[in-house]
């Protein structure tokens, strides 16, 4: 089943058929990229005819595609279109904003939430630290190179090894400071270290004098982005340990909000108060 827990109960007042179709879509993962009709029926305890109609309907609208040989279903192009729209519509920033604001209040550092964008990490949400801006232009939208800085390394360290090797091998990499690592073998050693310790910590790799500590943000077991704290290296006193608990807690909250978005409180029905 999916790598994160799903409540399979149809919410009160919701349409059961629609809810079932959404459960089917959420069952697809990298570790389970395709499903057959019988498997879906057994997984959810439905009649085979119900599973067949749901899968066929989703395929008819492009949310799934069916292999004509194996008759198994995979995610379709409509999901890709909605995913791209979601990341660039502003909805993601609204969802992340409360977590980033609280982390900034706790640490006083600049907070960045970034997503992969080819050979870069793109900042999609940010909160400036108490000492002022790190840049003289907006942080949101900035691209951070994949090989330089904790913001990027905390994500790419968790990319499947074969994908990371294909991405970094044979690619020219710019040197931004005298601490930027551009040797693929040395970078791979750093990625393995990041994955072993669970966070990335760099000083002056992308910007001279700027220290950054970052952790990955997951969707289920899949790396989705990174959450990082940055500031002048004098603020960190040479190590990030005193910030790791707050950073990891914030990343966990982000993961929860991404997989189980907070619900709007229900309004109480009743007669209006007299004045």
Percent of the chain with pLDDT over 90: 61
Rounded mean pLDDT, 33-50: 93
- Closest among 85, 70, 72, 64 to 22, alpha carbons compared: 64
Q: What pLDDT is recorded for position 275? A: 36
254 in Cβ contact with 112 (< 8 Å)? no
Q: What pLDDT is recorded for position 274? A: 39
Q: Please report the DSSP string for the chain in residue order.
A: --SS----SPPTTS-HHHHHHHHHHHT-BTTB--B-HHHHHHHHT--HHHHHHHHHHHHHTTSEEE-TTT--EEE-HHHHHHHHHHHHSSHHHHHHHHHHHHHHHHH-SEEEEEEEETTEEEEEEEE--TT--SSSS-STT-EEETTSSHHHHHHHTTS-HHHHHHHHTT------STT----HHHHHHHHHHHHHHT-EEEESSSSTTEEEEEEEEEETTEEEEEEEEEEEHHHHTT--HHHHHHHHHHHHHHHHHHHSPPPPPPPPP-PPPP-
**CA gyration radius, the chain:** 22
Q: What pLDDT is recorded for position 261? A: 58
Rounded mean pLDDT, 181-191: 95
pLDDT at 58 over 60: yes
Rounded mean pLDDT, 98-125: 94
pLDDT at 205 over 50: yes
Phi, psi of 175 (to 5 degrees): -105, 120
pLDDT at 266 over 60: no
Q: What is the mean pLDDT of the chain?
A: 87
Q: How many CA atoms lie within 13 A of 42 on its CB side?
A: 6
Rounded mean pLDDT, 253-258: 90
Cα–Cα distance, 89 to 230 (Å, whole number): 26
* pTM of the predicted structure, to 2 decimals: 0.75
Q: What pLDDT is recorded for position 6? A: 61
210-219 pLDDT, tens per residue?
Answer: 999 999 999 8
Cα–Cα distance, 157 to 192 (Å, whole number): 7
Among 88-92, 109-113, 213-217, 260-264, the least confident range: 260-264
List of residues 6+ apart from 11 with CB closer than 8 A: 19
Q: Tell me the pLDDT band of 84, cut-offs 50, 70 and 90.
A: confident
Phi, psi of 211 (to 5 degrees): -105, 145
266 in Cβ contact with 100 (< 8 Å)? no
pLDDT at 181 over 70: yes
pLDDT at 25 over 70: yes
Q: What pLDDT is recorded for position 258? A: 84
Please list the residues that pair with 29 across neighbouring strands. Answer: 32
Which carries the bigger pLDDT value, residue 134 or residue 93? Answer: 93
In this structure, the chain runs to a length of 275
Percent of the chain with pLDDT over 70: 89
Q: What pLDDT is recorded for position 189? A: 96
């Amino acid at each position: 089943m999916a790598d994160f827990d799903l409540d399979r109960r149809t919410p009160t007042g919701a349409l059961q058929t629609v809810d079932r179709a959404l459960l089917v879509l959420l069952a697809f993962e990298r570790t389970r990229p395709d499903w057959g009709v019988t498997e879906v029926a057994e997984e959810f305890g439905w009649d085979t005819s119900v599973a067949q109609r749901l899968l066929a309907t989703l395929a008819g609208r492009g949310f799934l595609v069916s292999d004509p040989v194996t008759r198994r279903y995979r995610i379709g192009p409509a999901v890709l279109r909605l995913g791209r729209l979601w990341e660039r519509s502003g909805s993601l920033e609204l969802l992340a904003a409360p977590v980033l604001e609280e982390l900034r209040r706790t640490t006083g550092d600049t907070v960045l939430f970034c997503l992969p964008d080819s050979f870069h990490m793109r900042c999609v949400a940010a909160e400036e630290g108490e000492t002022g801006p790190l840049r003289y232009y907006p942080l949101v939208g900035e691209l951070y190179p994949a090989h330089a800085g904790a913001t990027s390394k905390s994500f790419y360290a968790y990319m499947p090894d074969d994908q990371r090797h294909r991405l970094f091998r044979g690619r020219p990499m710019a040197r931004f400071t005298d601490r930027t690592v551009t040797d693929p073998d040395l970078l791979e050693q750093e990625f393995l270290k990041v994955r072993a310790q669970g966070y990335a910590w760099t000083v002056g790799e992308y910007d001279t004098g700027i220290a950054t500590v970052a952790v990955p943000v997951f969707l289920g077991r899949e790396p989705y982005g990174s959450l990082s704290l940055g500031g002048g290296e004098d603020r960190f006193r040479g190590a990030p340990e005193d910030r790791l608990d707050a950073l990891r807690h914030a990343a966990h909250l982000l993961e929860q909000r991404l997989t189980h978005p907070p619900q709007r409180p229900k309004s109480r029905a009743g007669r209006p108060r007299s004045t």
